[in-house]
Structure 1
Amino acid sequence: MAGDAVYGPRIVFFTGGTALKSLSHALTGRTHNSAHLVTPFDSGGSTAVLRRYIRMPAVGDLRNRLLALADPAVATPPLVALCDLRLADAGEYDTLMQRLYALASERDPAWRGIDPLVADVLRLHLRWFLEFAPPGFDPHGACPGNLLLAGGYLRHGGGLGPVLHLFTRLLRVRGAVVPIVDDDLHLAAELADGTVLLGQHRITGKGVPGITAPVRRLFLTRTRPDGDGQGGDGGPNGPAGQARRAGHDGLIGRNGAGGEERHGADDGSSAPPAEARVPVSGVAVRHIAEADLICFPMGSFYTSVLANLLPEGVGRAVAAAPCPKVYVPNSGTDPEQLGLSVADCAAALLTMLRRDAGAQVPAARLLNTVVVDTRNGVYPGGIDHEGLRAQGVDVLDAPVVRALPGGGAQSAAVAGRHDADAVADLLMGLARPRG
């Protein structure tokens, strides 16, 4: 099996977040050639702390996917624990900084059980971060695993390519993990009621209420949700640090339609964030062109899946790829979907892809198959088979969702999750045979 996996199919995922963690583990036993195109737009949690100080893409989801695909002989529980560690949200600044400096020493007990060579490289990256980070970096809530990637980013003068390449080799990652763009960008969404939300965390509801109306338009912007347009001035006593402690992570105003308009301009301006049109990463385009199958997988629909389709060139690359394209919708509640049917989600995928590929591109070149499980899956907005057929998309009903004990109908709140092995086997079978 391991030998076969080395030559397994090239399955490309448009993804982000942690929804594919189990599937990633399952895939490593079947193919070492999956490519995970990841959204680097996160703006919540420990990632927000880091991005307040360094104008860089978000690295938390990249880190998670690298570890999910890594050789378990390298990514041992102590290494995973170290990379997932979070510093306290409260506490003295000096105490937290001392903890980071202690981690940069081989004497720290956190390094026990980690391969010495791997530990040396990781400590070097942490030292680079401590050397090159902006003065006054606020360590509250920081994730040392993210700081390792940020250290390589800073050491190489910006750009995630070199550090991701190194970590892929170091962790013996069984696949490729690639940001869809290597740029400092954020997500914004205009809702049907006129509300404009700035920041991925506000759209997905991470630590905040989330969306209250369907998404009308999703776009990228260079406007920052924290209201800090410069970077490097967000120390514990600086504007960003003061705003965070006061709870003002971006301002709330009113737009012309009477809805809320939340954005990062703390200079009193009520102008909405400007859309940024940026090209997709060349590395991502190469993976799409070489794919044996392209998958739009389960996960937060707008912030993890559709967000990956925003950069210019993605739709054209998908349309040009001569392989099957498959959508695996969520089972259970996704706060971002607000009751959208599976057919509605497929329509949103096609609309986003055609925005770049061209309005007349047939569905057969963009999305061939939607995989549902009518026995165990729960789709709060319904499936709408007729709506899918009207769009020219085939429906494949397959046992890909775990049945909960007791049987019977399942509610959206407690719906079974996808069976990682079943999904992996299904995608392997749908992939274009390799010549």
Structure 2
Amino acid sequence: MTISRQTALAGPGDPVAGACQVGSVAGSGPAAHAAAGRGAAGDAAHGPRIVFFTGGTALKSLSHALTGRTHNSVHLVTPFDSGGSTAVLRRYIRMPAVGDLRNRLLALADPAVATPPLVALCDLRLADAGAYDTLMQRLYALASERDPAWRGIDPLVADVLRLHLRWFLEFAPPGFDPHGACLGNLLLAGGYLRHGGGLGPVLHLFTRLLRVRGTVAPIVDDDLHLAAELVDGTVLLGQHRITGKGAPGITAPVRRLFLTRTRPDGDGQGEDGGPNGQNGQNGQTGPVWQVWQDGAGGEERHGAEGGNSAPPVEARVPVSGVAARHIAEADLICFPMGSFYTSVLANLLPEGVGRAVAGAPCPKVYVPNSGTDPEQLGLSVADCAAVLLAALRRDAGADVPAARLLNTVVVDGGNGVYPGGIDHEGLRAQGVDVLDAPVVRALPGGGAQPVTMAGRHDADAVADLLTGLARPQ
């Protein structure tokens, strides 16, 4: 079936208000749903405000578990991803990355709304290969209610989602490369474009639409990227280059992580003159990342793999006002499991985060990874705690005691797997308490087999522990 651009964009007037009322009908709000395994939803509606510095998918299971205990968890997410289809979207639309925000919204959403068909739709990706016109035609088809992808989704919710896709098709810059594009990301981008930039309005709407049982917000609402200086002098530009997703990853420990406005994709313009600027997989133009190294003898030698010839410049940007307010009002602040540098530490880089954490009168808890995190390269738990404290003190002040920044580290001495060790003495020397608790699932064979981060922590045990440690203000 052929659908023209005009037909695709000529949708209903404004179904947003009606769709958001789906969540307010009798018996369908948060208080009407039984909690998953613990307490009533009425208790969860008044549960503690636990703030997570997070990113990626490491907290998906924990997010599900939390919704049965509190509907007030706050997930401050890193919007710095630079790999895959996200890189393409960010090159054409100078905006924060939204993939991790999308994943967390769905993880916290009411399953009565976020049904399997809706989740599948938001996760739908266009083909990595194929003609530009064919893929764009597919997007226009998806903007029509006649497309079978909308079957099984509440009609009012579907109307709002299609409206956001039509906004994307209307406002996106010409020549957008659809190869490998994630539909859920395009929906959020449509709201971003419709409101003139800024993720606040579209995140607020999707939170209501999906009856999200918590709060999801970016740590900054700005178009920024991550860069890392390694101890061997190498500087890597782009989150995907640091975390090793779609790129080799780090080969030496990280000396410094920082934010930059320098783009991993050069000037972001197509080079082959085609309609989508395609040059390589997913239409990524030119180099996806660059590397610079210090030369021998102390002189600086810049060597870029194409594109930029000078190292990225650090950008000093403030934490968003929304994120700062949530930190100040927290009943507990958690530095959780996940990619240590690109998911956790990256959230601490904006100015004001350290001061906000220091000023919050609540417990501050670090739950380190159990298993292998390629970003840590053998760092002990105490080493990671020291990195967190140093990052927070850069903003809060060098003399701020650990008790105001990070007072408890949760480990599992029985089942936990910490490749660099725990180093209890090192933690105590920093003024950090160690809480040994059964928060990691036992591995078959006594833990002798290789493991990764995914699935290692017991989500229910971690959720119980954090809600128990929270101190309501």
Task: Report the TM-score when normalising by structure 1.
Answer: 0.94
Deviations along 1:326-378, whole A, 9 cap, x unmatched? Answer: 00000000000000000000000000000000000000000010000011110
Shift in alpha-carbon separation, 1:19–1:231, aligned structure 2, 3 A: farther
Shift in alpha-carbon separation, 1:14–1:143, aligned structure 2, 3 A: same
Shift in alpha-carbon separation, 1:227–1:408, aligned structure 2, 3 A: closer
Shift in alpha-carbon separation, 1:169–1:268, aligned structure 2, 3 A: closer
Contact 2:87 2:284 in 1 (8 A): no
Shift in alpha-carbon separation, 1:293–1:202, aligned structure 2, 3 A: same
Say whether residues 1:194 and 2:233 are aligned partners. yes
Shift in alpha-carbon separation, 1:260–1:7, aligned structure 2, 3 A: farther
Q: Summarize the alignment of residues 72-87 of structure 1 with structure 2, pairs less than 5 Å apart.
A: 72-87=111-126
Shift in alpha-carbon separation, 1:119–1:392, aligned structure 2, 3 A: same
Shift in alpha-carbon separation, 1:14–1:126, aligned structure 2, 3 A: same
Contact 1:38 1:178 in 2 (8 A): yes
Contact 2:270 2:276 in 1 (8 A): no
Contact 1:225 1:264 in 2 (8 A): no
With 228-237 and 309-318 compared, the bigger mean Cα shift is at 228-237
Shift in alpha-carbon separation, 1:415–1:275, aligned structure 2, 3 A: closer
Deviations along 1:277-303, whole A, 9 cap, x unmatched? Answer: 000000001100110000000000000
Q: Distance between the aligned counterparts of 1:36 and 1:47, measured in 2? A: 20
Find the residue that maps to 2:196 and give its secondary structure. Answer: coil
Q: Distance between the aligned counterparts of 2:286 and 2:300, measured in 1? A: 17
Deviations along 1:145-169, whole A, 9 cap, x unmatched? Answer: 0000000000000000000000000
With 114-123 and 235-244 compared, the bigger mean Cα shift is at 235-244
Say whether residues 1:414 and 2:456 are aligned partners. no
Contact 1:196 1:261 in 2 (8 A): no
Q: Distance between the aligned counterparts of 1:97 and 1:398, measured in 2? A: 52
Q: Distance between the aligned counterparts of 1:233 and 1:267, measured in 2? A: 16
Q: Distance between the aligned counterparts of 1:234 and 1:53, measured in 2? A: 15
Contact 1:137 1:235 in 2 (8 A): no
Say whether residues 1:45 and 2:84 are aligned partners. yes
Contact 2:271 2:279 in 1 (8 A): no
Q: Distance between the aligned counterparts of 1:415 and 1:90, measured in 2? A: 30
Q: Distance between the aligned counterparts of 2:459 and 2:266, measured in 1? A: 40
How far the C-alpha of 1:248 sits from its partner, in A, is 3.2
Deviations along 1:164-192, whole A, 9 cap, x unmatched? Answer: 00000000000000100000000000000
Shift in alpha-carbon separation, 1:413–1:428, aligned structure 2, 3 A: closer
Shift in alpha-carbon separation, 1:44–1:264, aligned structure 2, 3 A: farther
Find the residue that maps to 2:174 and give its secondary structure. Answer: coil
Contact 1:236 1:242 in 2 (8 A): no
Task: Report the TM-score when normalising by structure 2.
Answer: 0.87
Q: Distance between the aligned counterparts of 1:232 and 1:127, measured in 2? A: 28
With 230-239 and 265-274 compared, the bigger mean Cα shift is at 230-239
How far the C-alpha of 1:433 sits from its partner, in A, is 3.5
How far the C-alpha of 1:407 sits from its partner, in A, is 3.2
| Percent of paired sites with the same residue | 90
Deviations along 1:248-296, whole A, 9 cap, x unmatched? Answer: 3244454435999999988865210000000000000110011000000
Q: Which runs of 5+ in 1 are unaligned?
A: none
Deviations along 1:46-91, whole A, 9 cap, x unmatched? Answer: 2111011000000000000000000000000000001111111111
Contact 1:104 1:127 in 2 (8 A): yes
Partner of 2:63: 24
With 44-53 and 194-203 compared, the bigger mean Cα shift is at 44-53
Shift in alpha-carbon separation, 1:312–1:93, aligned structure 2, 3 A: same
Contact 1:54 1:232 in 2 (8 A): no
RMSD value, Cα: 2.6
Q: Which runs of 5+ in 2 are unaligned?
A: 1-40
Q: Distance between the aligned counterparts of 2:91 and 2:274, measured in 1? A: 9
Shift in alpha-carbon separation, 1:235–1:136, aligned structure 2, 3 A: farther
Q: Distance between the aligned counterparts of 1:51 and 1:427, measured in 2? A: 35
